[in-house]
Copies of this chain bind each other. A is one copy, B any other.
């Protein structure tokens, strides 16, 4: 087994980086990352330097033989990498602010990964990541690419269908479910098992066991569920949940409570502006902290940022890939036959045994009838949108958006699309050739 690993972080100037660095330091014995490259684009140089220096101070404090390198040229960083992680935000938070606000004007939810906002993020992001993949194919074809970049399900599927890179999509939400259950039942997470059915940001938990005993019935009765900070915690209808027979991801509020979530967004927008603006404020504060040359640990305040457990997810995955642990993690991978109504190459979120050869999905025991239609509807939108992102075909983009269950008509879809494409013009060369 290799005793020296190289990790390249694309979008290394992200405010999340210190969390990842902390994870790397804490797991060095199982995951000897000795080269850590933080890569960013020229516009991100300032932030890269701030974060990079903090990372270097953290490593120095740890006393571990980890070399943190900063670069604006990924071609310098990629050769022979073992892992490449991506956490980029094309158009920065400013673009996100538009993703969140424009749809609202047309009566449609505005959200970073769901609905028109998610599609626009996919349009900006997919071509950039496919370019990165071309470099990975040449410079480090055996590397595992860990994709955190949202919308992670669509991005991962795009990479799997349009490149030869070995890519795995990751989300902090499944870990969040385990943490919630761990707290609820007062047992460590390794005594819990949760079965996930669905897509990224569109999963249902169809089984929960503690020490192997099912807790599903009591959880369905209690109506309790896990909600992350970035999605308002509106109450589910307990009858619906019991009838489905599975615990929905908090993102499913956008689908089961569309009308009410829209109203909440409109109210929140009026009160505080878009969530992007709030996040921007948190980020600015974080970077102020990061600048402090005496800071050599991850600051507490990072937890407010909303990406809890990202580092844990990433490190867990790398540890398992490196050590061939064959433990089970919830990942975004090609469907195969797991959900038999979806194409084999559709990315789904599912429990996988993680070996050095990569993730092997574990059969799901139970696919509740009531969830199949929504999964298929959203996946249909996703596949059309991925193809539109790659080709720049506007009619396809219109079809994709019309197929999105949150959009109430093709006419509304067209109005939103026209404004959003125009707004994102600078980031959409495929659509403005």
Contacts and interface: CB of A to CB of B under 8 A. Distances in A.
Interface stretch (A76-84, A149-157, A206-214, A424-432): A206-214
Contacts of A323: 212
Contacts of A353: 328, 353, 362
Given A258-B408, A259-B412, A408-B258, A372 B362 contact: no
A237 B353 CA distance: 34
Interface residues of A, number: 70
A107 B260 CA distance: 13
A257 B402 CA distance: 9
Contacts of A409: 256-260
B362 A360 contact: yes
Interface in A361-403: 361-363, 365, 369-370, 372-374, 376-381, 383-384, 393-396, 398-399, 402-403
Interface string A410-433: 111010000000000000000000
Interface stretch (A3-11, A32-40, A273-281, A332-340): A332-340
Contact of A370 (B211, B214, B237, B399): B399
A226 to B, nearest CB: 18
A283 to B, nearest CB: 32
Interface stretch (A21-29, A61-69, A239-247): A239-247
A355 interface: yes
A307 interface: no
A116 B193 CA distance: 38
Tally of this chain's copies: 4
A159 B193 CA distance: 28
Contact of A369 (B337, B360, B370, B383): B383
Contacts of A372: 376, 380
Contact of A341 (B239, B326, B341): B341
Given A193-B324, A409-B259, A341 B342 contact: yes
Contacts of A365: 357, 360
Contacts of A384: 369-370
24 contacts: A1-B211, A193-B326, A209-B355, A209-B356, A237-B402, A239-B414, A240-B410, A243-B395, A243-B399, A260-B409, A260-B411, A326-B327, A337-B338, A353-B362, A357-B365, A361-B363, A363-B363, A369-B384, A370-B380, A370-B399, A373-B376, A373-B381, A374-B377, A377-B405
Given A237-B414, A373-B379, A373-B381, 20 more contacts: A209-B324, A209-B356, A209-B357, A237-B402, A243-B393, A257-B410, A259-B411, A260-B409, A337-B338, A337-B363, A340-B341, A353-B353, A353-B362, A357-B365, A360-B365, A361-B363, A370-B384, A370-B403, A372-B376, A374-B380
User: Which 4 A-B pairs give the minimum distances between C-beta atoms?
Assistant: A212-B356, A373-B380, A212-B324, A376-B376
